[in-house]
Amino acid sequence: MNDKGRPDIGAGHPICIAVDWGTTRFRAHLVAEDGTLIDSIASDDGMSSVSDGAFEGVLSGMCSAWLGRFPGIPILMAGMVGSRNGWKEVPYVSCPAGLPEIAGGMVSLQLASGSPIHIVPGLTTDDAAADVMRGEETQILGLGASDAVVILPGTHSKWAVIRAGRVETFRTFMTGEFYSLLTHHSVLRLLAEPPTDDFAARAASRLGVAAAATGGGLLNLAFHARTGVLAGRLKPQDVEPYLSGLLIGEEIAKARRLVPPDLPLMLVADGVIADHYREAVEATGGTVSLVDPERTFVDGLLRIARHNKETAHVRSR
């Protein structure tokens, strides 16, 4: 076993390298024929940190050990790597869309070392509320869900409606970005201190979720993070978790009005953020099933690759 608790490279036969390349993070997995993750790497070399278009250099450097040992291994990528500011812009596929449309929209290129690269397209909606996603479509396909509402938390959280295995439509909520703006650039940061107690932080987060349900409005309720401290109702350490709960609660309250009430909710998340979303959904009277984001991403890439004529060889080597 390696130091991450996964099998050594020699323990499985690699079929491809799966890359999730977003705005701020780079993640890659060496994947075996049965879908097992043989090894994984991650860094802060997201799209925004790559200078002068040196994407090939970053990818080759990060995956040098794998590329050296398995020359010509296919590389499957999804995320902002296919955006206008990424390595190669891949046109969005319009919703409703499923596996055939997404797989058919892949764009290919090649590393100087010979490995073929295949980039998954994002999705767009053409209705009155135009929206876009890149990367989440891969996780959605990895779920293999027939009918569901899929929640994908993040800097720009997504709520996607799935019917008959196809993404019918989706909506984006700037929850993570608003949290960063409020806690780093607004007046609310001035009385805030970093949380020091997990139990107290969870309690403050629940206060924020409950506040969102009162209907007071985000612009008013966010200011309570300041007045609450001034009035002695909140501690400085409560400001950040209160705002987190408020924003998550606001997202869930608004999103649940936009999605069909008859579909089950699936949450693609892990760690603390998964706990916060699950608790917030339950606070609104809903239930949600939790799914591992890393696993769904790899499973989605494999499904897409095996449906595309150019990448069908990923099925075996």
Query: 290 by DSSP, 3-state: which?
Result: strand
Measured CA to CA in angstroms, residue 147 lies from 24, 132, 164 at distances of: 31, 21, 6
Residue 317 has what pLDDT? 39
Query: 171 by DSSP, 3-state: which?
Result: strand
Contact 285, 292 (CB under 8 A): no
- Start-end of CATH 3.30.420.300 domains in the chain: 9-144+294-315
Q: Is the dihedral of CA 288, 293, 298, 302 positive or negative?
A: positive
Residue 128 has what pLDDT? 72
Which residues in the chain show pLDDT less than 70? 1-12, 309-310, 312-317
- What does 6-61 look like in DSSP terms, one character per residue? SPPGGGS-EEEEEEEE-SS-EEEEEEETTS-EEEEEEES--GGG--TT-HHHHHHH
- Start-end of CATH 3.30.420.310 domains in the chain: 175-291
Query: 195 by DSSP, 3-state: which?
Result: coil
Fold of 9-144+294-315: Nucleotidyltransferase; domain 5 (3.30.420)
Measured CA to CA in angstroms, residue 233 lies from 194, 236, 242 at distances of: 17, 10, 12
175-291 CATH choice from 3.40.120.10, 3.30.420.310, 3.40.50.620, 3.30.450.20: 3.30.420.310
Query: 313 by DSSP, 3-state: which?
Result: helix
Rounded Cα gap, residues 88 and 46, in angstroms: 14
Rounded Cα gap, residues 76 and 14, in angstroms: 13
Rounded Cα gap, residues 17 and 7, in angstroms: 16
**158-199: pLDDT as tens digits:** 999 999 999 999 999 999 999 999 999 999 999 999 999 999
